[in-house]
Structure 1
Amino acid sequence: MNKEMEEKATKELGKEHLQEKAKEKYQEWLKKKIAEGYEKKKKENEKKKKQWQAKLQEKKEIADKKFKEWLENAKSKPSPAVKSDGYANGKLTGFYSGTSYPEPAFCNPIPWKSIHMPPPKEANNLSGKKNKTPVIESHTGHLW
């Protein structure tokens, strides 16, 4: 009986030992998987960062190119008159002043005309109610 008990004890010890080894291996595997996941995320972030930097660089190059084109085109455009008579309130002042407005670039050849609108006709009160606002007559005879 002692031998059987010893054999059972050794088998149980062996099983416990195997279970501990299995747990240790599982923990190692789990750590390894977590580390791999971390590395994968790190690589993805680096890749995204490189793509973003490439796009930013491309935009910067395009902007520089457009600016240089604009600079070249600006040289060929005529510059505005440096010195012109000043205009204040739409009238020529006869001298140039830094505080006065420049000469208008465009004047409408057809002046503005207001549209004639007939005065509104007062509608008779058809409802039969009296108007609550009093009519005040001044000493000049005008109604207010």
Structure 2
Amino acid sequence: MYMFPWLGPWINNLTRLKKSMADMKIEVTELVRGLKETLNPQMCRGFVDSFLVRKQTLEESGNMDSLYHDNNLVFSITNLFSAGTDTTGTTLRWGLLLMAKYPHIQDQVQEEISRVIGSRQPLVEDRKNLPYTCSDP
């Protein structure tokens, strides 16, 4: 580091990134552990349950050398979460940018949300009553 002082910020960022990744892996591992404890093969709640049921089926049939193992599950969940977070963040940034550039659209969206939802928490069912705000491309 003394030889290349300009590497300092890069190394600090890399260290922080590695710690964040390790923390996320711990969180996802805990999530998987909790879902394993409440697993019901007859009622899949989502991706993790489907993965665990498939893994269990393969292990019961004697196939212990498959891609269905805990490490692969943790990394798959992490990848899905990361991709979803990035996509959602980008969509929100563009939405905010467009609202800032076109205040009349912001006013229409605000009016529609206030009229349909008011001060309560929004529900998925509200989308059908928000044609301007939730228009699909």
TM over 0.5: no
TM-score tier by shorter-chain length is under 0.3
The structure with the largest alpha-carbon Rg is: 1
TM-score (ref. length: structure 2) = 0.27
TM-score (ref. length: structure 1) = 0.25
The structure showing larger relative contact order (alpha-carbon pairs under 8 Å, at least 6 residues apart) is 2
More helix by share: 2
